[in-house]
Structure 1
Amino acid sequence: MGVRVRQHVNPLSQKFQDAIAPPNWPEIFAQPEQPLYLDIGCARGQFLLDMAQLRPHHNFLGVEIRRLMVQSALQQRDELQLSNLHFLFGNINTSLDSLVGAQSITGVTIQFPDPWFKRRHQKRRVVQPALVNELATCLKPEGLLLIQSDVLEVAIEMCDRIAEHPAFTGTTPLYSWLPESPFPAATEREKLTLSEGLPVYRYLFQKGVEAESK
């Protein structure tokens, strides 16, 4: 289903400063006790639509700042009758700490975020220290955090900001990019990038067992 939406949305705009209201988890997931995975900036949701079918014993939540993409993803979820998948519209940078509880998420993915190339716009990038700190709180001990980008500068910056937090440890030496994704599904951007023979820069972090956010 094709949906035309703006490619760039300024997350610092006043209209995106309201926090996302936490959903009623038993209403959106048939089995709310299942492990929960969060995809930040899920776009059209294809990655999660595939993952929810491949791993029915996990729950998946996608958050996207472009409303039309969320509406399209929810429609596809309903057509597939997936009861372990939900999508929410909003700005994760203003919402994560109120959206989920401490140590409630098993894994997080941040895949191909908007690079915001201009220096004056880089404060709009999604991986900011405050978000990393909140991720350290909401992830369970040994929880995984995967970042992916087709822009080396963005991948390095995400790695640097996450590695600075004492809760997170890289699963390989820093900047040792994974040759393949640890997940059996791919985003639309990932498929396109690989089909053009271009590199994808992937890195996997793990939260320490005894780590505490500061």
Structure 2
Amino acid sequence: MDTDGSSSVTVKLPQKRFYRQRAHSNPIADHSFDYPVRPEDYDWSQQYPTIGDRRVEFADIGCGYGGFLVTLGELYPDKFSVGMEIRVKVSDYVMDRIQALRKLHEGKYQNIACIRTNAMKYLVNYFQKEQLEKMFFLYPDPHFKRAKHKWRIINQALLSEYSYVLREGGLIYTVTDVKDLHEWMCAHITHHPAFERLNDAEVQQDVLSDKLLDSSEEGKKVTRNNGDKFVAIFRKVTK
């Protein structure tokens, strides 16, 4: 107790070792989730105290431990970004991390949040048509076995949903350390009529190009292991 009678609480960031969980999760399995029936039914103010009548515009799909999500919050203080993570302990960590950051830095990090959900099933329950400006798929699960390729977060059916929630000119960002997965994602997105791939010069001009590789915890691990990294960015177009 302080001398003035108030309690003093030391705020610390959560430690990942208390939130460890296996890296892979079956996105087809029946997990238990609460989700809105329609996007307009979801109360975003429970995630963002200052959102008012504004909307989330950035979505980090499979946000992991939230490193890149935090980077988004810092780079775009006037944009609202959400991380969507299927693993319960990992999403708990991100939620606790954000709450701690808000307490440690008054007035900051009010623009980021994490939701535990299955984006492969419930994405359109959260976002209205053409709501999003950017979607990120950073180091997604490669699901190496051919029988599990249907679990990959990039496929033709899901790309139509991504096109639905992305505005015209909106961007999809992909990063992976697995060459086969990179080629898979590029082939599927390029072949979808709603998207075109940015050329190398356009990628380099993107303010996020140098943040995509190492802002996430997975990206830092790949760097420590001297692994390869493959980046591609795609724009939604009208054809």
* TM-score computed with the length of structure 2 as normaliser: 0.79
Deviation string, structure 1 residues 41-88 (Cα, Å, up to 9, x no partner) = 111111102221232111111101101111110111011112111111
Distance 2:210 2:153 in 1: 22
Which stretch shows the higher mean deviation, 154-163 or 183-192? 183-192
Residue of structure 2 in register with 1:20 after alignment: 35
Give the residue type in structure 1 aligned to 2:60. D
Residue of structure 2 in register with 1:93 after alignment: 120
1:183: how far off? 5.5
The 3 A distance-change label for structure 1 pair 5 and 63 is same
Residue of structure 1 in register with 2:233 after alignment: 204
1:24: how far off? 0.9
1:14: how far off? 2.3
Residue of structure 2 in register with 1:5 after alignment: 21
Distance 1:59 1:91 in 2: 20
The 3 A distance-change label for structure 1 pair 133 and 117 is same
Q: Is residue 162–residue 168 contact of structure 1 (8 Å, CA) maintained in 2?
A: yes
1:40 aligns with 2:61: yes
The structure 2 residue matched to 1:76, chosen from 53, 73, 97, is 97
Residue of structure 1 in register with 2:177 after alignment: 150
* 3-state DSSP of counterpart to 1:95: helix
Residue of structure 1 in register with 2:197 after alignment: 170
Q: Is residue 51–residue 184 contact of structure 1 (8 Å, CA) maintained in 2?
A: no
Residue of structure 1 in register with 2:131 after alignment: 104
The structure 2 residue matched to 1:124, chosen from 128, 139, 151, is 151
The 3 A distance-change label for structure 1 pair 142 and 154 is same
Residue of structure 2 in register with 1:60 after alignment: 81
Distance 2:93 2:224 in 1: 25
* TM-score computed with the length of structure 1 as normaliser: 0.87
Give the residue type in structure 2 aligned to 1:106. E
Distance 2:98 2:61 in 1: 17
* 3-state DSSP of counterpart to 1:14: coil
- Give ranges in structure 1 of 5+ residues lacking alignment: none
Give the residue type in structure 2 aligned to 1:24. D
The runs of at least 4 consecutive aligned structure 1 residues that moved more than 6 Å come to none
Q: Is residue 19–residue 95 contact of structure 1 (8 Å, CA) maintained in 2?
A: no
* 3-state DSSP of counterpart to 2:163: helix
Give the residue type in structure 2 aligned to 1:14. D
- Give ranges in structure 2 of 5+ residues lacking alignment: 1-14, 103-108
Distance 1:19 1:75 in 2: 19
1:175-194 equivalence runs, <5 A: 182=209, 184=211, 186-194=215-223
What percentage of aligned pairs have identical amino acids?
Answer: 25
